[in-house]
Amino acid sequence: MLSIIIPARNEEENLKNIFDYFNQAMNSIDYEIVIINDFSTDNTFVKAKELFGSNKKFKIYDNEKKGLGGAINLGIEKSNGTKIAIMMADLSDDINDLKNYNKLMDEENLDAVLGSRFIKNSKIEAYPIKKLILNRIFNFFVSIVYWNEYNDYTNAFKIYKKDVLKTLMPFVSESFNIFLEIPLKIIGRGYSYKVIKINWYGRKKGEAKFKIKELRSKYIFTLLYCLLEKILLKIQK
């Protein structure tokens, strides 16, 4: 089974679209959707229960520790699938890429598939220019420091074996930096993975939660933490 974790904070406007997004396109895949309500101040949790409560494909939980780190940890704990994909509630990710992820995991027995929005034939729409520039600078910096050619570490949308994710825990990141921590640990610990192109589409409803100024120090901390772990593992060998 494929479990799809969707953290949701104040995503009331997107919930119906989430239902339609998966319900219409995933008939050939055994899957479940694990929605983690991350301390929303709108009606996200109530509306999610109303929309999805009777659908066995959807499970809804209240986050126990505020932040994406807590949401991802809880989502992993509550997931029943052998594979776990993380997708955002703003529907920025392409469901056809999700199907490709799932297929590759099964056919090649990979520990992870890491998508990149910045390789040949990837498609990006409505990416804010300032965020794009900072993204490319930081990801280039990470690839140099970590000595790896992957170029989209910070993208949330990836897929992993659940058993592998559990070996990476506990995660130290509390916010968006968890999406940097997970692939760095996958690479640093020598798990098998493949990089493929993916598409990305800008948010159409609701407000973006990513705040660059608030996250700079957290990303640097996560990078240094994972780099130290990688060095220590290499010394131990």
- Which CATH number do you get for residue 149? 3.90.550.10
pLDDT of residue 210: 54
pLDDT over 70 at 73, yes or no = yes
For the chain, the domain total comes to 1
Which pLDDT value is given to residue 23?
A: 83
Domain membership of residue 75 as a residue range: 2-236
Spatial CB neighbours of 131, under 8 Å, sequence gap ≥ 6: 210, 212
Q: What distance in Å separates the CA atoms of residue 60 and residue 34, rounded to the nearest whole number?
A: 6
- The pLDDT of 25-44, averaged and rounded, is 93
Say what the pLDDT of residue 28 is: 82
Among 163, 168, 187, 178, residue whose Cα is nearest residue 109: 163
Q: Of 147, 68, 156, which is closest to residue 116 (Cα–Cα)?
A: 156
pLDDT at position 144: 96
The encoded tokens of residue 162 equal 């659940």
> The tokens of 23 are what?
């319900």
pLDDT at 2 over 90: yes
Task: Output the pLDDT for position 24.
Answer: 78
3-class state of residue 122 by DSSP: coil
pLDDT at 206: 60
Q: Please report the pLDDT score of residue 207 as a whole number.
A: 64
Q: For position 21, what pLDDT does the model report? A: 85
Minimum mean pLDDT among 11-15, 30-34, 133-137, 203-207: which range?
203-207
Handedness of CA 12, 17, 20, 25 (dihedral sign): negative
Structure confidence at residue 142 as a pLDDT band (50, 70, 90): very high
pLDDT, one tens digit per residue, over 192-226 is 999 999 999 987 766 655 555 557 889 999 999 99
**Stretch 80-89: mean pLDDT:** 96
CA distances from 213 to 134, 138, 191, 209, 230 (A): 11, 13, 32, 12, 27
pLDDT above 90: percentage of residues in the chain: 81
Q: What is the mean pLDDT of residues 109-126?
A: 96
